[in-house]
Amino acid sequence: MSEAVKLRKKHKPNTLNINVHNPDKKIEQDVMSLAREIGIKRPESRNALMVLLFNFYFSGKTRVKTPLDKKGFGPKRYNPHKMGDAAYRKALKCLLDNGYIKQDKGFKEMDTWEGVTTTSWSTAKLRKFFVDCQWSESRSWNFAYQNEYILLRENNEKKRLVDYQDTPQSNQMRELLERYNELLWDTSITLVKKDKKTGLEDEYKEIYDFIIQRKFIQHRKDEYGVELGYGGRMYGPWCSLNSRVRKHIRLDGEKTIELDLPASAINTLYVVRTGAKYPDGDPYYLEINDLEIPRHIVKKTLNIMFNTDSKKTAAGALDNYYLPNHFNDTRSKDELQKSKHYIAVKGFIRPLDIINAIIEKHQTVKEYFLRGKRFGDRITWYESDRVLEIIRRFTDRNIPILTVYDSFIVQEKYQENLERLMEKLNPLRLG
């Protein structure tokens, strides 16, 4: 990483919040007055100016990410102020030209292709404007103005958000996610560390700036006309913490426990197909020619088979995962050790043999294998629906619960409640 990139990343900038809102008429008049001063006439640009001013006000002297690429801010569903791309750039330029903000243009390092986005920050002139206008944090600020909890993104690298048609089910899901977010916002979610000498715990971080949304992937509608039927995972900031750190999460000051849905994806398919989990022990246990295949290889092979459309493609993907063609191998010790397991197995058993053995073991659900990414995203939807059902059960009882893909974090006193629900693997009950 170059020195320029290091310098720009030293102080992490705030992300531009396009949802922030304040209905105060006095603030609206202040924005109109500044717009006239800096030469903004069109209502669309005044609207963009308002959003930018809200962000600079709350960021103080901290930088704000103000990208200049022409991606836009998405359809109205995700853009409550209907801020247009051209109007946003116009407002940003007028603030810059009139000395209210300073700006560092984004760039890419040509040798590493590491990118740094454009950032802007308020000058003393803009901060004086806020003081003179008597802006105050005690006014009617809303940081989740018309927040959208159900997202649909394109099925490509750009992953741009797209609009969709609501159904009674999506409206009920949105209502559930709104209640779930409100419950978590009212919950103290903290990380603690233990003093090695005294054994006492001390809070060192609070997790509070988040929105839990269900993120679907756009494919063509299925035979029933369902559009929100692919993907659907939910992510919280705790998902980026490793399992060791997650053990130190406290909910309202109480110790927590994390439990995994066992063999979540394959068991979910059995529930969908038969109404019950895999009946014969561990669905990942596999033995070929008296050799037990390491569980992580079976699990990875199954996941690949959910998202590829042929045995040949799946076998190639398995090789690429365990034996990546990297000049500089930067994988962790655990990943390198798993690769050694795979190499040892491959000395006796071909990847194709593992795939065939899995199909033979799971004849009941083999129709779900090797049908391509679209169907793999459908399987993720089945799985995430069951995660959301457990969330619904706990939310209805006003009990906070965090999810990390197919695992759950709850206060220790609710462990048995969670285990009972996980055992049932109920589908989501909407409509």
Do 259 and 317 lie in a common domain?
no
Residue with tokens 């009617």: 140
288 lies in some domain: yes
pLDDT score of 223: 54
Do 61 and 188 lie in a common domain?
no
For residues 174 and 256, give the distance between their C-alpha atoms in angstroms, rounded to a whole number. Answer: 27
417 lies in some domain: yes
246 lies in some domain: yes
Q: Which amino acid is at 233?
A: R
For residues 341 and 301, give the distance between their C-alpha atoms in angstroms, rounded to a whole number. Answer: 14
Do 125 and 91 lie in a common domain?
yes
SS3 14: strand
Q: What is this structure's pTM? A: 0.78
Do 170 and 262 lie in a common domain?
yes
For residues 150 and 174, give the distance between their C-alpha atoms in angstroms, rounded to a whole number. Answer: 6
Do 357 and 381 lie in a common domain?
no
Q: Which amino acid is at 137?
A: E
CATH of the domain at 16: 1.10.10
Do 50 and 23 lie in a common domain?
yes
302 lies in some domain: yes
**In the predicted model, is pLDDT for residue 110 greater than 50?**
no
397 lies in some domain: yes
What's the pLDDT tens digit per position in 148-179?
A: 899 999 998 888 888 898 999 999 999 999 99
145 lies in some domain: no
What's the pLDDT tens digit per position in 322-351?
A: 988 766 677 788 888 999 999 999 999 999
CB atoms within 10 A of CB 64: 21
368 lies in some domain: no
Range of the domain at 347: 284-361
Do 68 and 158 lie in a common domain?
no
Do 345 and 252 lie in a common domain?
no
Give the pLDDT band of residue 6 (cuts 50, 70, 90): very low
Of the listed ranges 73-87, 166-180, 218-232, 249-263, the one predicted with least confidence: 218-232
For residues 56 and 40, give the distance between their C-alpha atoms in angstroms, rounded to a whole number. Answer: 18
Do 72 and 184 lie in a common domain?
no
Do 295 and 384 lie in a common domain?
no
For residues 377 and 178, give the distance between their C-alpha atoms in angstroms, rounded to a whole number. Answer: 24
pLDDT score of 197: 74
Do 243 and 111 lie in a common domain?
no
Do 9 and 112 lie in a common domain?
yes
The total number of structural domains that make up the chain: 3
Give the pLDDT band of residue 115 (cuts 50, 70, 90): low
